[in-house]
Structure formats: structure tokens, C-alpha cells
């Protein structure tokens, strides 16, 4: 209770903390739980499990690029006995399709919204649970039909073989590819299920954040984490239905012959589909209308979390809270009108390309502003180099690279050369792996004590960080060079082409780095499972942080708060004189020291 600092006017007792849901027996407590914290933990373990699956698939892809057509060690002879241990081109296609699918739909999106959204939203806004706890439970359980669909699609010959973008005609007509049969239908169903799951989550998050904030928690006192999750939920709610509709159209094309996406007059495998009249470009518009905002869905929550973590670890208020909120909103709203930058070479009207190009260039601006603000947050701080900080800095450092390579791709004429080469693969791995995953690693270490009441091991954490950071740069940086040399992505054997023959050593170097990085993740798992049971006990507020979740016990009980918290100021009041502490919890009533608060605080309205 040291940091709770109860002040008689500020806290009101919760009338009936058990009203929402009483913890019942083991099953209702840990399995069909409606408690947002348990659901968050369920999401975390499920997504981490999926990360292993996606990682193994990635290593298999990399194996083929480093040692083309050679039997994979250990699993090769067992998996592809028929091919004499070799990866076939069909199987390779399935590998990268499923790697991307798993990483995006089953790892990054659910670990952000599912795990951290669930864990942090009620705790950080001072609510006792989500607005719709049962819907919340369903949103977790809808992951499993998706996993089942994706899993089953492995079993059908060739697996889904059209890439995670599922472009027609390849994905739309079963004759077009060996894997375009039932496997592709199952893949589409899986995406639909995971879409339901996200949709339920985002409705819940929006409602909770709008309706259930504690007294005094105005919008501009929300922690950045909540801003990130809130804007993400809005993005999801508007963009996702379009993908779901598109997916539905593709399913009816496949099963009922509706032909939304294929024109007449095709000759596929020497047979002509009888009808037509559709347009393949339509899918690209529908798909990217969701999937471009989706890259922000995979990034904004991390941006929010890193803002809070950096400010805490540097003991400084976040530099430019409001500009950060504004730039997040700008990214989100511009995010809706730049989907066409994935389609510069697609054959859409080139005049439209120019509009998309200007919008895309402009979206780089708020990202730049955020980068500068984070750096300014570190500037003049007292930096503690623990695992959380290191991962946050890796986020920042790698986000800079991903952001800068984005400028090449925003420039239409240059993108024409880079599109669908490894340059693109480099870019999105810097953003998705480099930024998002490092942010997630930081967040796991930071909120672990709140989840399990124990601290994670620092030595293991730092070793994991160093190996992952070196491995990630070793794997993904050379991809820029591959792209420059014109190596297209999704090639089972690029060395077949004369101008790419000499790239083998570079690819082998990248594969070795990837293996290092892959094995480093074992340390993360060891750390999590070891610390859950044997880590040193954490108090309520091990990081001396300021936001509401740290006023609760670790882990918080049902209903979260002993009292309804009362909020008096913004989320990151560090470096203020407050007795012998240098920070103010959001629930602490003391006003800021006048000279510091007024003289330098131009933007904060508290």
C-alpha cells in the first residue's frame, strides 16, 4: 500500500467488487474466464506458442534460400519423405504463406490487442473489467477455430499457396495452383474467424475506454498506451469489415462460382473457366484497404507502450504528450487513404498513384515527429539500462530504419523497381520484427510483475536481447542489398537467374543470423516460465511508475482496484519534487511544484 497514497476525497470504495464475476472453480477461473487479466494471459501464451510455429516456418524458408534443395536437418527426412527430404517449390510457397499468416494474424495482432489490450485497458483507466467480459472471453476463444482452420490447411496437398495477400486468380480458382484447393478455402475461413475475434476485441476496447474511465481520467490524461490501443481499436472497427467482405466474396467465388475477382477468357491449366466478368484488381483494393491500416494496428499499440516505458525508464515526462496523440491520430487517419501505395505496379490508373504517393509521403511526417519526441524523452533523462529500456531503444533504432526505407517505397518511380523484391521484405521486417517485436519484448518484461507478481530475470533478459538484436540486424539488414540487386521475393530458387547467382553467400550469412535469433527465443521462454514460479516477488510498483495499474496489488485480484481510483493529472509525471520521491502517481493529489510545472509545461493542461 506504499504507493497507493489514499486520500479520503479521492477514493471511493467499490460497492460490490465481486458483482462482475466471482472466481469460480478452476475451469471458470482459468479456462472459460471472463476476467480480463486471465484472458490476457491466455492470449499471451497462445500467441507465444504461435510465435514458435511462425519462427520454425521462417527458418525453413531461410534454409531453402541458403541451401536450396538440400534436405532440412532433423525435420527434412521426416516431413518430406516423399521428396527425399527436399523442400518442393509447392511446399516452399506454403511455407512463406503460412509464416506470414501466422506471424501477422496469430502473433502480432493478437499479442498487441489481445494480450496488452486486455491486460492494460481496464487497469490503466481504472475500471474493474472490460465493458463486455463475456464478449471478451469469446474473442479469445474465436482464435482457436482460426488456428484449427490454418492448421488443417497444412494437411491438404500443397497447403495454401497464394501468399498471405491471397491475390486472385491464384487464390480464387482452384485450378490455378496445387495449393489453391480446399487449403485456400480453409485459409480464408481462418482469416474470417480471426477477424471476428479482433472485431469483438475492438468493440470491447472502444466501449470500455469511452465509458469506463475512472473519475478524473480525462482523454488527455490517458496514458499513451491507452491512446495507442484506442486508436487501433477504431482502425480495426472501420477497416476489418472490408477484408471480411472481400474474404467472403472470395469464398463464394471459390464455392459458388460468383466470379467477383476473375474476368472471362482465362485459360488455366489448359482449361477455361466457363464464366467470368470480374476484376482481379478489385481484390487488391479491398485487401489493402484493410491491410494497410493493419500495419498500424500492428504498430500503434507498441508506440503507445514504448512511450510509457521510455518515460518511466528515463524518469522524465513524455516529451510532447499532445503532439504524440495528434501524430498517432494523423497516422491512423492518413492510414486509410494510402492503401494504393501497395499497388503502384498493379495496373490501376496511374494518376491515382500520384495521389497515393503524396498521401504516403505525408504519413512519414507524424512518424518522424514521434521519433524525435521519443529521442527528446531520453534527452536529459536518467537512463536505467535494464531489459525493458534496451528493448525500447532497439524498437526506436530499428523503427528509424524501417521508417527511412519506407520513403524509398513511397516514391513511386523508385518503388516500381523495389516492389516485390527483398527490399520490401527488409522494410516490413524492420517495422514488424524490429519495432513491434522489440516493443513487445519490452512490454512483456515491464508488465510481467503485474501479470504474475514476480520479476523476470535480468541476466537472461539481457542475453536474449543481445542475441536477438544482433540476429535481427544480421538477418534483415542484408535484405536491403538483396532488394537493390533485384532479387524478387517468394522465389524458391533465385540462383536460377544469372544476375542473382552470386547472392548465395549473402543468403547463407542471413540464414545463420536467423538461426541465432531463432534460438535466442528459447531464452525468452525459459525466462518466462522460470520467473513465473521462481522470480523475486514484486511489490505493487516495482518500477516506480505513475499510471493506475501500479496502484493495484501484483497480480491484481478480481475487480482490480480496492477503491475506485481518482485521477488528478497526466500519466507521466516524473522528475517532480514529491517528498522524497521523484514521481507523482496519477492518483496522488499533490499539485505539481509551481515553478517546474508552469515554466516548462507548455502543453500539458493539468
Partner 1 sequence: MGKGWCLFFLFWPIAAVVSCAMAPFVGWSFPYNNAQAASNLGIRIDDLFYIILIVTAIVFVGTQAVLVYALWRGANNREERATNIHGNHKLELIWSIIPGAILLFLAIYQMNIWADFRIKKYYPEAAVKDPLAEVTARQFEWRFRYPAIGKKLQQKPQPDDLYSVNELHVPFGKPVMIQLRSDDVQHSFFLPALRIKQDALPGLQIPVWFEANKPGTYDLVCAELCGWGHYKMKAHVIVQPEDEYQAYLKNLTQKQFYDGLGKIAAKDTGTESEAVEK
Number of residues that bind partner 1 (CB under 8 A): 117
Span of 53-61, 74-82, 267-275, 510-518 interacting with partner 1 by CB under 8 A: 267-275
Q: Which of residues 436-465 bind ligand HEM (CB under 6 A)?
A: 437
Nearer to partner 1, 133 or 179 (CB): 179
What is the pattern of x (binds partner 1, CB under 8 A) and - over residues 488-517?
x-xxxxx-xxxx--x---x-----------
Residue 316 lies near partner 1 (rule: CB under 8 A): yes
C-beta of residue 547 within 8 angstroms of C-beta of residue 561: no
Strand partners of residue 581: 578
Residue in 43, 164, 446, 583 binding ligand HEM, rule: CB under 6 A = 164
Residue in 45, 219, 248, 417 binding partner 1, rule: CB under 8 A = 417
Residue in 187, 227, 288, 433 binding ligand HEM, rule: CB under 6 A = 433
Span of 30-38, 222-230, 349-357, 423-431 interacting with ligand HEM by CB under 6 A: 423-431
With helix as H, strand as E and coil as C, how does 124-160 read? HHCCCCCCCHHHHHHHHHCHHHHHHHHHHHCCCCCCC
CA separation for the pair 28, 127 (Å, rounded): 21
Residue 66 lies near partner 1 (rule: CB under 8 A): no
71's torsion region: left (phi>0), alpha (psi -120 to 50) or beta?
Answer: beta
Residue 335 lies near partner 1 (rule: CB under 8 A): no
Q: What is the DSSP string of 248-315?
A: HHHHHHHHH---SS--SS--BTTB--S-----HHHHHHHHHHHHHHHHHHTTHHHHHHHHHHHHHHTT
Residue 433 site contact among ligand HEM, partner 1, none (CB < 5 to 8 Å, cut-off depends on kind): ligand HEM
Residue 484 lies near partner 1 (rule: CB under 8 A): yes
Residue in 44, 401, 451, 585 binding partner 1, rule: CB under 8 A = 401
C-beta of residue 251 within 8 angstroms of C-beta of residue 331: no
Span of 209-217, 431-439, 525-533, 573-581 interacting with ligand HEM by CB under 6 A: 431-439
C-beta of residue 180 within 8 angstroms of C-beta of residue 273: no
Residue 85 site contact among partner 1, ligand HEM, none (CB < 5 to 8 Å, cut-off depends on kind): none
C-beta of residue 573 within 8 angstroms of C-beta of residue 584: yes
Residue 322 lies near partner 1 (rule: CB under 8 A): yes
Q: For the CB of residue 135, give the shortest distance to ligand HEM in the complex, in Å.
A: 26
Residue 96 lies near ligand HEM (rule: CB under 6 A): yes
Strand residues in 353-428 grouped as ranges (E): none
Nearer to ligand HEM, 321 or 423 (CB): 423
Least Cα distance to 331 among 281, 295, 382 occurs for: 295
The CA dihedral of 166, 172, 173, 175, to the nearest 10 degrees, is 10
Residue 64 lies near ligand HEM (rule: CB under 6 A): no
Residue 469 lies near partner 1 (rule: CB under 8 A): yes
CA separation for the pair 391, 461 (Å, rounded): 10
Q: For the CB of residue 112, give the shortest distance to partner 1 in the complex, in Å.
A: 24
CA 473 vs CA 160, 398, 433, 507: distances in Å: 30, 9, 10, 13
What is the pattern of x (binds ligand HEM, CB under 6 A) and - over residues 40-59?
---------------x--x-
Residue in 108, 112, 324, 455 binding ligand HEM, rule: CB under 6 A = 108
Residue 14 site contact among ligand HEM, partner 1, none (CB < 5 to 8 Å, cut-off depends on kind): none
Q: Distance between alpha carbon 217 and the CA centroid of its chain, in Å?
A: 26
Residue 310 exposure: Cα atoms within 13 Å on the Cβ side: 29
Q: For the CB of residue 280, give the shortest distance to partner 1 in the complex, in Å.
A: 6
DSSP-based three-state secondary structure for 223: coil
Residue 278 exposure: Cα atoms within 13 Å on the Cβ side: 24
Residue 325 lies near partner 1 (rule: CB under 8 A): no
C-beta of residue 443 within 8 angstroms of C-beta of residue 461: no
Residue in 48, 60, 98, 103 binding ligand HEM, rule: CB under 6 A = 103
Nearer to partner 1, 408 or 563 (CB): 408
Q: For the CB of residue 141, give the shortest distance to partner 1 in the complex, in Å.
A: 33
Q: Which of residues 215-234 bind partner 1 (CB under 8 A)?
A: none
Span of 116-124, 186-194, 197-205, 476-484 interacting with partner 1 by CB under 8 A: 476-484
Least Cα distance to 486 among 498, 501, 499 occurs for: 499
CA 378 vs CA 79, 223, 306, 307, 316: distances in Å: 49, 18, 12, 10, 8
Residue 453 site contact among ligand HEM, partner 1, none (CB < 5 to 8 Å, cut-off depends on kind): none
Q: What is the DSSP string of 514-560?
A: HHHHHHHHHHHHHHHHHHHHHSPBP-S-TT---SGGGGS-SS--TTS
Interface residues with ligand HEM (CB under 6 A)? 55, 58, 61-62, 96, 99-100, 103-104, 108, 163-165, 425, 428-429, 432-433, 437, 475, 489-490, 514, 517-518
Amino acid at each position: 500500500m506504499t504507493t497507493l497514497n489514499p486520500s479520503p476525497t479521492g477514493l471511493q470504495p467499490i460497492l460490490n467488487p465481486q458483482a462482475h464475476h466471482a472466481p469460480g472453480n478452476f475451469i471458470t477461473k482459468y479456462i472459460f474466464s471472463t476476467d480480463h487479466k486471465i484472458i490476457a494471459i491466455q492470449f499471451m501464451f497462445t500467441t507465444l506458442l504461435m510465435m514458435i510455429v511462425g519462427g520454425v516456418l521462417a527458418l525453413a524458408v531461410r534454409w531453402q534460400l541458403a541451401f536450396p534443395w538440400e534436405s532440412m536437418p532433423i525435420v527434412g527426412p521426416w516431413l518430406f519423405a516423399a521428396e527425399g527430404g527436399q523442400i518442393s517449390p509447392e511446399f516452399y510457397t506454403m511455407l512463406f504463406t503460412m509464416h506470414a499468416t501466422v506471424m501477422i494474424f496469430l502473433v502480432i495482432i493478437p499479442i498487441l490487442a489481445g494480450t496488452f489490450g486486455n491486460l492494460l485497458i481496464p487497469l490503466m483507466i481504472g475500471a474493474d473489467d472490460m465493458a463486455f467480459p463475456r464478449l471478451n472471453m469469446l474473442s479469445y476463444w474465436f482464435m482457436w477455430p482460426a488456428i484449427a482452420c490454418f492448421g488443417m490447411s497444412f494437411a491438404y496437398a500443397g497447403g495454401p499457396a497464394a501468399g498471405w495477400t491471397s491475390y486472385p486468380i491464384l487464390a480464387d480458382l482452384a485450378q490455378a495452383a496445387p495449393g489453391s484447393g480446399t487449403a485456400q478455402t480453409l485459409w480464408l475461413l481462418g482469416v474470417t474467424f480471426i477477424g471476428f475475434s479482433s472485431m469483438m476485441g475492438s468493440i470491447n476496447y472502444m466501449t470500455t475506454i469511452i465509458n469506463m474511465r475512472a473519475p478524473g481520467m480525462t482523454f488527455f490524461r490517458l496514458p499513451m498506451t491507452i491512446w495507442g490501443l484506442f486508436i487501433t481499436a477504431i482502425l480495426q472497427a472501420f477497416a476489418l469489415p472490408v477484408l471480411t467482405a472481400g474474404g467472403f466474396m472470395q469464398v463464394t467465388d471459390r464455392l459458388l462460382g460468383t466470379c467477383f475477382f476473375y474476368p472471362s477468357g482465362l485459360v488455366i491449366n489448359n482449361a477455361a473457366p466457363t464464366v467470368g466478368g470480374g476484376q482481379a484488381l478489385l481484390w487488391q483494393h479491398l485487401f489493402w484497404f484493410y491491410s494497410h491500416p493493419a500495419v498500424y494496428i500492428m504498430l500503434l499499440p507498441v508506440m503507445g507502450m514504448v512511450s510509457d516505458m521510455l518515460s518511466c525508464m528515463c524518469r522524465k515526462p513524455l516529451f510532447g504528450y499532445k503532439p504524440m496523440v495528434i501524430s498517432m491520430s494523423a497516422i491512423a487517419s492518413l492510414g486509410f487513404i494510402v492503401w494504393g501505395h501497395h499497388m503502384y505496379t498493379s495496373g490501376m490508373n496511374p494518376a491515382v498513384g500520384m495521389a497515393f504517393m503524396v498521401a504516403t509521403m505525408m504519413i512519414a511526417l507524424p512518424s518522424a515527429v514521434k521519433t524525435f519526441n521519443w529521442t527528446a524523452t531520453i534527452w536529459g533523462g536518467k537512463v536505467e539500462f535494464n531489459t525493458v529500456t534496451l528493448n525500447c531503444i532497439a524498437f526506436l533504432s530499428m523503427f528509424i530504419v524501417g521508417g527511412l526505407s519506407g520513403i524509398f517505397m513511397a516514391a513511386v518511380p523508385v518503388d516500381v523497381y523495389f516492389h516485390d523484391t527483398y527490399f520490401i521484405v527488409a522494410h516490413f521486417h524492420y517495422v514488424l520484427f524490429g519495432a513491434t517485436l522489440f516493443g513487445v519484448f519490452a512490454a512483456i518484461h515491464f508488465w510481467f510483475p503485474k501479470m504474475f507478481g514476480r520479476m523476470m530475470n535480468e541476466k537472461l533478459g539481457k542475453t536474449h536481447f543481445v542475441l536477438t538484436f544482433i540476429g535481427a540486424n544480421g538477418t534483415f539488414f542484408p535484405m536491403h542489398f538483396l532488394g537493390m540487386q533485384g532479387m524478387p521475393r517468394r522465389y524458391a530458387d533465385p540462383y536460377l537467374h544469372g544476375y542473382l547467382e552470386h547472392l548465395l553467400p549473402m543468403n547463407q550469412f542471413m540464414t545463420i543470423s536467423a538461426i541465432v535469433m531463432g534460438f535466442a527465443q528459447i531464452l525468452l521462454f525459459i525466462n518466462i516460465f522460470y520467473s513465473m514460479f521462481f522470480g523475486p516477488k514484486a511489490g505493487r510498483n516495482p518500477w516506480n511508475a505513475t499510471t493506475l495499474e501500479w496502484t493495484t496489488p501484483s497480480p491484481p485480484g478480481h475487480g482490480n482496484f480496492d477503491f475506485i481510483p481518482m485521477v488528478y493529472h497526466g500519466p507521466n509525471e516524473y522528475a517532480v519534487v514529491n517528498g522524497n520521491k521523484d514521481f507523482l502517481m496519477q492518483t496522488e493529489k499533490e499539485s505539481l511544484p509551481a515553478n517546474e510545472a508552469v515554466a516548462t509545461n507548455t502543453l500539458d493542461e493539468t
